[in-house]
Chain A
Amino acid sequence: MRRSSPVFTSTTLVAALVATAAVTGLAGAASAAPSTANKDAAKNVIYLLGDGMGRTHVTAGRQRFYGAGAKMVMETLPAQGHVSTYAVERNSGQPGKAGFRPNLVTDSASAATAWSSGVKTYNAALGVDAKGTVVPTLMELARQDGFRTGNVSTAEITDATPAGQMSHALARGCQGPLYSESACQDLEITGEKLPTNDVRVTPIADQIARNGTADVILGGGLSRFDTSDETALKQQGYSVLGSVADQRPATKADLAAARGEKVFGLFNKGNLTVEKTKQDNPAAPQAQEPSLPEMTRKAISLLGHNSTKGKGFYLQVEGALIDKRSHANDAAQTLAEIKAFDDSVAVALAFAKRDGNTLVVVTADHECAGFNIVEKGTFTNAEAATPPGNVDGGNTANSSSPTRPRNARDATRSSGIINGSGSADAGNFAPATFRTPDDASDVTDGSPEASLWLSYLSGNHTGADVPIYAYGPGSGQLQGSVDNTALFTIVGRALRVVR
């Protein structure tokens, strides 16, 4: 890629900032946020995000790993509620404002922008509102206010969820290492091409390597970064694990040995390897990748040991592969990712209990794939020749249009349990079955005797609300139902960077 100017300044961005209807005055105020006692204020915030993790994902994880009468760690947190996740269309107004046009099913980019910056935006947007205006993120505000910051993910670190805290891009596909017009520009938002020195069309990897938003960056996506990025990171004082220039991913041993205030460690050229694959192939190179709980523990250690001036830290942790394996309708891998995520919650919760002044928030960005628990021995609509019956000759009030006879299983669409007798049929819609701790010892996964029957509605996101669990100062505000943009307010107040 050819690059021209050694000086990179944003111009249209500024114009957009000024043009936004929301701009009202001069700043600095938030940095001088109230220092008075605030019962909802916390020294540290650990925000854990299970990408694509709906309520049923949690239930299935509980039943699979702990049994029906137990709880996952996240379910033991005292404050619990639900989060609405909808996005908006391009150029929409904000909720309650003129031109508001909701999009009921969000993607990870829009959702990340909602809790990171407090605004609804269009799917694919990161750190910009629905009209393309740059909006600051919580991690940027925290960093500016003296907090230590960390961003951990099992995805490429340029992927939507981690990028939502530390980049501003019209399009989530503008990840790098190279700019392309198709991936980075969005003429529906800007009307005309932005100059390539505008942050909103700057590859996300270039931004992350240069903006210093997160002190500790752990995840995947080494391929997104190049030698110039490594140079920029080192100039800011980052300890770079592995080698960007040589495209040599870091290892869990590198992570264990990492020291210093700023650490950049990417453990795979792409997304990290799914837990089940590492468990099934312990001798594979991928098994040298750290797990999400290992990265969480290290990030907390690095951030907690280097806090300064009485300020704490703000850490975001994403279990990204829950979503990616749900897209693939792979229930076994999805479950293993849920467990790894919950183990990370345990790490965060243990720290918070020791520390006594840490808010832990556990939630999701959206549900993925309509994951569901079906009754043992039954079949789903996807396996049926027709939908369930809708006729009752004895009571006309129970019948509506269209009337249907009772449904029946379609043998061509339901050829046996998909992780068992039907595993060889690529066109099979049957559920996957898993044993639970409550099952007899001789019950196996993939058998009809296993009690946990799991199915998927689709391969895409759904618009269902997602669960939220919280512990620590300010967690009471998360009891009940909240919109994902309110998470910005609640966490921002806990950090005292939002009034």
Chain B
Amino acid sequence: MKLRSRTSLSRGWLAVGAVAAVAAMTAVAAVATFTLVGTAGVEPVGKALPAQAARTSFPGLAAARGEPELTSIGASHPRRGQILQAKGPFDDRFVLEGTTFDGSAVAGAVRVTSDVSDVLELQVLAGFFDEQGHLIGTGRFVHHLGESHAHTGPPEEREQFRIPLPAALAHRAVSVTIAVPVLVNE
């Protein structure tokens, strides 16, 4: 099983590089030829398929500029020592368990309650607050379950996380708000 978990930190958000200025090709009319394995009377054939049938551009849809943010974190007001949960799109699919904040990291577990299946994607976003209740920085935990693997055990519904306080915020954060912006089960 190829399992990749990592923690990344950010105050601002990771900016995805500008899209290379490749000439627009919305009118591309490439034709893919497929050779298919066919039995039961279906012979391998070459077929011309209009690639433009696949819609690949969406005018009006703004491209993502980085990792997901949730405004609900900034709107929360945890008091010293508190760990709050902010609203996210999947709050009815999990429970937070055993959350702690020792001044250097927030830790705990997300237990998925909606599916008995592998957790493909999970992101836990933590907002760190100072004594005055100001959001001073964020960190995130990212879980990604690779697909090109042989399953070696039963689906895991509980994912532990630990999100360190960014070094620049050392000794300033006194409370945390947590939210889950990304959750996908198989």
Contact = CB atoms under 8 A, between A and B. Distances in A.
Interface of A: 1-15, 17-18, 20, 22-31, 81, 89-90, 94-97, 103, 105, 107, 109, 118-119, 122-124, 127, 133-137, 140-141, 143-144, 168, 171-173, 175, 177-183, 193, 195-197, 199, 202-203, 206-207, 210-213, 223-224, 226, 228, 232, 269-271, 324, 327-328, 330, 458-460, 476-483, 485-486, 488-490, 492, 498-499
Nearest to B67: A180
Contact of B31 (A25, A330, A458, A490): A25
A34 to B, nearest CB: 12
B121 A27 contact: no
A270 B114 contact: yes
B19 A327 contact: no
Contact of A173 (B17, B58, B65, B144): B144
B95 interface: no
B148 to A, nearest CB: 6
Given A213-B55, A489-B36, A489-B45, A182 B142 contact: yes
Given A27-B31, A479-B40, A327 B60 contact: no
Nearest to A7: B59
A206 B62 CA distance: 10
Given A1-B68, A4-B65, A25-B30, 7 more contacts: A2-B13, A197-B57, A223-B90, A270-B90, A270-B114, A481-B40, A486-B42
Contacts of A228: 61
B63 A193 contact: no
B66 interface: yes
Contact of B37 (A5, A96, A199): A96
A199 B31 CA distance: 18
B36 A195 contact: no
Most buried by A among B25, B52, B59, B63: B63
A193 B19 CA distance: 11
Given A11-B25, A26-B31, A480-B39, A178 B54 contact: no
Nearest to A125: B147
B32 A30 contact: no
Contact of B58 (A8, A23, A458): A8
The 4 closest A-B pairs by CB, nearest first: A3-B62, A179-B64, A27-B50, A124-B147
A26 B120 contact: no
A210 B58 contact: yes
Place the interface of chain B in its size category.
35 or more
Contacts of B65: 1-4, 196
Contact of A486 (B20, B31, B39): B39
B16 interface: yes
Contacts of B36: 118, 483, 485-486, 488-489
B63 A196 contact: yes
Interface of B: 4, 13-14, 16-20, 22, 24-26, 28-42, 45, 47-69, 89-90, 92-93, 114-117, 120-121, 123, 142-144, 147-148, 150-151, 154-155, 181-182, 184, 186
13 contacts: A5-B62, A22-B32, A97-B35, A107-B147, A171-B147, A182-B143, A199-B55, A224-B89, A228-B61, A271-B115, A324-B115, A476-B41, A477-B40
B56 A134 contact: yes
Interface SS majority for chain A? loop
Given A8-B63, A29-B48, A499-B47, A460 B54 contact: no
Contact of B181 (A143, A178, A478): A178
B112 to A, nearest CB: 10
B20 to A, nearest CB: 6
B151 to A, nearest CB: 4
A269 B8 CA distance: 29
Contacts of A488: 34, 36
B19 A195 contact: yes
B115 A2 contact: no
B118 to A, nearest CB: 8
B117 A180 contact: no
B69 A1 contact: yes
B128 to A, nearest CB: 20
B142 A135 contact: no
Contacts of A4: 62-63, 65
A195 B16 contact: yes
A180 B120 contact: no
A10 B40 contact: no
B185 to A, nearest CB: 9
A6 B147 contact: no
B182 A195 contact: no
A155 to B, nearest CB: 10
Given A7-B59, A180-B121, A459-B155, A270 B68 contact: no
Contacts of A210: 55, 58, 60-61
A29 B16 contact: no
B53 to A, nearest CB: 4
Contacts of B53: 30, 136-137, 140-141, 143-144
A122 B2 CA distance: 15
Contacts of B41: 476-477, 479-480
Given A22-B34, A95-B37, A182-B121, A140 B55 contact: yes
Contacts of A178: 64, 68, 89, 181-182
A134 B54 contact: yes
Contacts of A143: 53
B16 A196 contact: yes
A488 B36 CA distance: 9
Nearest to A492: B47
Contacts of A124: 147-148
B42 A94 contact: no
Given A7-B59, A23-B30, A270-B92, A134 B51 contact: yes
B21 to A, nearest CB: 8
Contacts of B123: 180, 182-183
A202 B61 contact: yes
A175 B119 CA distance: 13
Contact of A480 (B40, B63, B142): B40
